[in-house]
Amino acid sequence: MFKTTRGLVLREVRYKEADRILTVLTEDIGKMTVKARGALRKGSKIAAATQFLVFSELTMLERNGFWTVSEGSTIEEFKGLRGDITALSLASYFAEHEYMTRVAFQRLCGLTSSTASRRLHQLVEAGKLRDIGTRHQSLYVPAR
């Protein structure tokens, strides 16, 4: 059975010599795992559409309960996100978690406690994060 849907690639793992295993957040199915056969080969037609944090339209084939990407086209690549290591780290983290603490940010970026606090404050001031926590425990979520 073929299915065409739009989704965001949340996770990409290399598999065998030229394949990728993807975690994709789709509009209609939700979070799902799919295989992208040959995505790492030179000249692959699905290579761009199956990269990490790319929003794509994917046509998939289901066989024996497993989904395989047969076609893909890129809708949005989020190039600005890929150029900013902090933004990329945050996007990667929030793809798997609902909120972030200062300690988690500190570990994620390899910062000292004071530097992590200062950088989080800057991200809140810039409108990239929101603090939804209490006075004693800050919890950060992406700004809408």
- 7-11, 72-76, 90-94, range with greatest mean pLDDT: 72-76
For the chain, percent of residues with pLDDT exceeding 70: 100
The whole-angstrom separation of Cα 36 and Cα 43 is: 14
Query: What's the chain's average pLDDT?
Result: 90
Alpha carbon separation from 42 to 47, 48, 50, 143 (Å, rounded): 9, 11, 14, 38
Residue 128: which pLDDT band, with cuts at 50, 70 and 90?
confident
Distance CA 98, CA 142 (A): 9
pTM for this model (two decimals): 0.69
Length of the chain, please? 144
Confidence of residue 94 (pLDDT cuts 50, 70, 90): confident
